[in-house]
């Protein structure tokens, strides 16, 4: 695919970012618009691999290899190089319903498995995907796809996050009448309220869901199944139900002082910031003029850092209990596995520019959160750790003499998620696995109670947007088959 000698002639060229001094003043997307001619040459770098792992879509040793959606990446790259953006979009749409989302928020698992990346920088697959979808969107060439036939079957999808949207999209195209129930006031799940606007503009989410409505999908918002809407009524009214409610139970900090005012989960903080942007009402939880401590070094922690910077934080510190990843692949992390390497993301770049140093402190954990007489957070006590083997497991051990107390007016916990909420699971008496997810058989999305299916983080556990989309589409196919073969 591409130009046979392209990877020898052209170096990788990433689309630039807006200057930090400018972008921290607003919540607009920080990635600059792309140059069409430059992106076509990037498509030429695709090597015509004998075995292209970029779209392999499987897991080995707990790490992803290639795109979980099995996107036709070499073909798309070739078509972009040849200047046929419309056909590139047509190929992309065969397996991927939401490139406007993944081209902005996915860590690019495909690039981690690019054959070119085995010995030099991989193809800019993610940039090419964004180029294709943005070109098609801006030119007005993407039209609603209204199904030509209807099967007469009605399906309820619970949750309008990436898995729910993907499930609803495919079921609708297969002819079912789909209703999506979402407890938030806008569709999108974490796409709307868990990912900041500077990474994914919310108009993109709303535009996509509006097109889904034009295609025949109904969205019922501010309706929490099991509370606002009886789940038993859902069972009677619909031929099948697909649960895509996510793994929304955040891991909470359990140290002395955890009850103090001024401690918030990452999603609570990020949701408030997005609502403030969209609705114009100042969030009660904000970083303005405060010393902020973010507990957690992942992508959500980074989003908290970037949001705190934009809100005018006095200082930002990001604590991570794990060691810093290596700069290059470790011996036990070979290609084509996803590379676990150190990176400085947009939030850290902004904190470095503003405060003069990287906000991350590795191998550090919180021992206590301190407060004043009014019950308000004033500081965080930390200690450095080292990881040791004990009874066949790695555990963090405190390093004596490394205790430290730092000022904190706002503590944000970004320590991941533990699983789905129990309301629907308990009301439907569904079986769960050891991690509290809805239990299904291997390679199946059928729950222990038919006609109820489950998909996304609610079934798989906390994961990436691209895996959630994969789950939603798989569940849709199985639900469709069930409805038409029983």
Share of the chain above pLDDT 70, in %: 100
pLDDT tens digits for range 14-72: 989 999 999 999 999 999 998 999 999 999 999 878 889 999 998 988 888 999 999 99
By CB neighbour count within 10 A (0-12 exposed, 13-18 middle, 19+ buried), where does 482 fall? middle
Check whether 486 has a pLDDT greater than 80: no
Residue 73 has a pLDDT of: 95
Check whether 350 has a pLDDT greater than 90: yes
Residue 185 has a pLDDT of: 97
Check whether 261 has a pLDDT greater than 70: yes
Q: How far is CA 373 from the centre of its chain?
A: 39
pLDDT tens digits for range 127-138: 999 999 999 999
Q: How far is CA 342 from the centre of its chain?
A: 19
Omega before 336 within 30 of 0, i.e. cis? yes
Please state, in angstroms and rounded to a whole number, the distance separating the CA atoms of residues 183 and 204: 20
Residue 61 has a pLDDT of: 84
Q: Give the pair of three-digit tokens for residue 105.
A: 């928020």
What domains, with CATH codes, occur in the chain? Answer: 6-138 (1.10.1060.10), 154-248+418-485 (3.50.50.60), 252-415 (3.50.50.60)
Check whether 2 has a pLDDT greater than 80: no
Across the range 156-170, mean pLDDT stands at 98
Contact 440, 292 (CB under 8 A): no
Q: How confident is the model at residue 4 (pLDDT cuts 50, 70, 90)?
A: confident
Across the range 436-462, mean pLDDT stands at 96
Q: How confident is the model at residue 1 (pLDDT cuts 50, 70, 90)?
A: low
């Amino acid at each position: 695919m591409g130009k046979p000698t392209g990877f020898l002639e052209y170096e990788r060229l990433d689309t630039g970012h807006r200057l930090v001094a400018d972008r921290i003043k607003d919540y607009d997307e920080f990635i600059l618009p792309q140059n069409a001619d430059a992106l076509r040459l990037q498509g030429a770098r695709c090597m015509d691999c004998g075995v292209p792992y970029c779209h392999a879509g499987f897991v080995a040793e707990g790490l992803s290899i290639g795109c979980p959606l099995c996107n036709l990446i070499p073909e798309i790259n070739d078509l972009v190089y040849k200047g046929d953006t419309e056909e590139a979009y047509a190929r992309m749409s065969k397996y991927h319903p939401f490139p406007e989302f993944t081209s902005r928020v996915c860590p690019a698992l495909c690039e981690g498995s690019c054959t070119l990346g085995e010995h030099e920088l991989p193809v800019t697959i993610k940039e090419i995907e964004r180029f294709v979808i943005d070109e098609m969107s801006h030119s007005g060439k993407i039209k609603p796809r209204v199904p030509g036939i209807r099967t007469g079957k009605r399906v309820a999808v619970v949750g309008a996050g990436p898995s729910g949207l993907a499930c609803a999209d495919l079921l609708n195209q297969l002819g079912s009448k789909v209703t999506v129930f979402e407890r938030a006031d806008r569709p999108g799940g974490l796409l709307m309220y868990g990912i900041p606007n500077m990474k994914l503009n919310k108009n993109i989410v709303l535009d996509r869901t509006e097109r889904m409505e034009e295609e025949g999908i109904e969205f019922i918002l501010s309706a929490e199944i099991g509370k606002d809407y009886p789940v038993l009524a859902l069972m009677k009214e619909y031929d099948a139900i697909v649960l895509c409610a996510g793994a929304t139970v955040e891991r909470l900090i359990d140290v002395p002082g955890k009850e103090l005012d001024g401690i918030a989960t990452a999603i609570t903080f990020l949701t408030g910031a997005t609502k403030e942007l969209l609705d114009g009402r100042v969030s009660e939880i904000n970083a303005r003029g405060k010393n902020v401590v973010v507990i957690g070094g992942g992508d959500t922690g980074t989003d908290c850092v970037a949001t705190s910077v934009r809100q005018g934080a006095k200082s930002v510190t990001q604590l991570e209990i794990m060691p810093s990843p290596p700069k290059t692949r470790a011996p036990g992390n070979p290609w084509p596995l996803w590379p676990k390497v150190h990176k400085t993301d947009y939030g850290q770049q902004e904190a470095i520019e503003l405060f003069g140093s990287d906000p991350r402190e590795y191998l550090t954990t919180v021992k206590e959160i301190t407060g004043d007489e009014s019950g308000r957070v004033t500081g965080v006590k930390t200690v450095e750790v080292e990881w040791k083997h004990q009874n066949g497991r790695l555990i963090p051990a405190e390093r004596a003499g490394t205790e430290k107390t730092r000022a904190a007016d706002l503590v944000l916990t970004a320590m991941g998620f533990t699983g789905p909420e129990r309301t629907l699971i308990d009301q439907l008496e569904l079986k769960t696995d050891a991690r509290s997810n809805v239990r299904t058989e291997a390679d199946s999305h059928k729950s222990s109670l038919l006609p109820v299916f489950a998909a996304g983080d609610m079934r798989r556990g906390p994961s990436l947007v691209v895996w959630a989309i994969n789950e939603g589409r798989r569940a849709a196919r199985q639900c469709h088959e069930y409805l038409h073969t029983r």
